[in-house]
Structure 1
Amino acid sequence: MIVERGTVIGPAGAGRVWVETRRRGVCGACEARSGCGIHLLGEAGGGRRNRVAVLAEAGCEPGEVVELGLREHALLLGSAMVYLVPLCGLFAGAVLALAAFGPAAEGAALVGGLLGLALGLAHTRRFARRIARDPRFQPVILRHAGVAASRDRRD
């Protein structure tokens, strides 16, 4: 389970609450920070807040600090659908067009690749709609950790 802390902002309707999390750097313990491009990118956009609608039981109050959880399976499947399916559609469409029209038909490969990409994106969109309300793919509140001492609302 992937765990993150956040602050309850308010109700989101349908048994959900809005929770605000702060993006953390991934390289806090790394010793190569000064020469690392990923660290520099994290510093440039660091501290940004994210808002997520989270499945919650009654009793979540605004300002309360909670621990969120998301199953690894949900993250891995979602990532594969968003990245791999359209990419595989792009390659499959280009290869099928080349096989059908011959290696000299670069235009056909381009069109076939774009059609495959469009089909992959359409499949991903249907998948996203299908799992939008599935509790297995939603973050949930694992634990209530108290009330936030202060809430800095500057962005």
Structure 2
Amino acid sequence: MDRDSEAWIVIEEKGTVVAVSDDKIWVQTIRQSTCGSCSARKGCGQGVLARMSDGRANQVRVHNTCGATVGDPVVLGIGESQLLRASLLVYALPLGALLTGSLTGAGLWPGQDLAAIIGGGLGLAAGFLALKLLTGKAEEAARLQPALLRIDVNQAVPEPLVVHQSSTLNP
């Protein structure tokens, strides 16, 4: 589906502009997880990643289509189909190439584990190379990027935390 379609589903994420560079901005987001309300939280890979990251911040560079400035709260969006396509490219392509290489190595030299390992390594390298070639094209890379949807006037920007030396706090 294209962005002009009424059925275009957008996944939104809130963030704060941390830098402006020409016609692009850097937006910092904090990873959100809905794992607490999910019944599959213990067996899910996303849940494991959320626990490991512990709410770390991400920074994303997007086109500044709304005239945002440093400190502005903004909303980023990516189409559901774009996210699915990017996920398939990043995960399935290298994994499929690894399996193909491993099976090819094992098929050419039956009973040789080293052949399957080397074939898998070569297949994985070929998968990453193919990924680089597919996403290296400017038009493909642009389609897989999030977009700045709007400046979020309803989101309050918290005051920065100022930390003083402990000697000034304890007389």
Q: 5+ unaligned residues in a row in structure 2: which ranges?
A: 1-9, 163-171
Identify which of structures 1 and 2 has the higher relative contact order when contacts are C-alpha pairs closer than 8 Å and 6+ apart. Answer: 1
Instruction: State the one-letter code of the partner of 1:3.
Output: E
* 1:118 shift after superposition: 1.0
Partner of residue 58 from structure 2, selected from 50, 57, 66: 50
Q: Root-mean-square deviation (CA), in Å?
A: 2.9
Is 1:111 equivalent to 2:118 in the alignment? yes
| Superposition TM-score, scaled by structure 2 size | 0.72
What does residue 169 of structure 2 align with?
none
Separation in structure 2 between the aligned mates of residue 153 and residue 52 of structure 1, nearest angstrom: 23
Structure number with the higher strand fraction is 1
Partner residue, 1:141: 148
Q: Deviations over 1:76-97 (max 9, x none)?
A: 1221121111111111112222
Contact 1:7 1:148 in 2 (8 A): no
Q: Would you say 1:86 and 2:113 are equivalent positions? A: no
Query: What is the deviation of 1:31?
Result: 7.4
Corresponding letter in the other structure for 1:107: L
Aligned to 1:100: 108
Q: 1:9 aligns with which of 11, 18, 21?
A: 18
Question: Is the 8 Å Cα contact of residues 97 and 112 (structure 1) preserved in structure 2?
Answer: yes
Which consecutive unaligned segments of at least 5 residues does structure 1 have?
none
Q: Is the 1:18–1:51 contact (alpha carbons within 8 Å) kept by the matching residues of 2?
A: yes
Contact 2:135-2:141 within 8 A present in 1 as well: no
**How far 1:115 moved relative to its partner?**
1.0
TM-score normalised by structure 1 residue count: 0.79
Secondary structure of the residue aligned to 1:138 is: coil
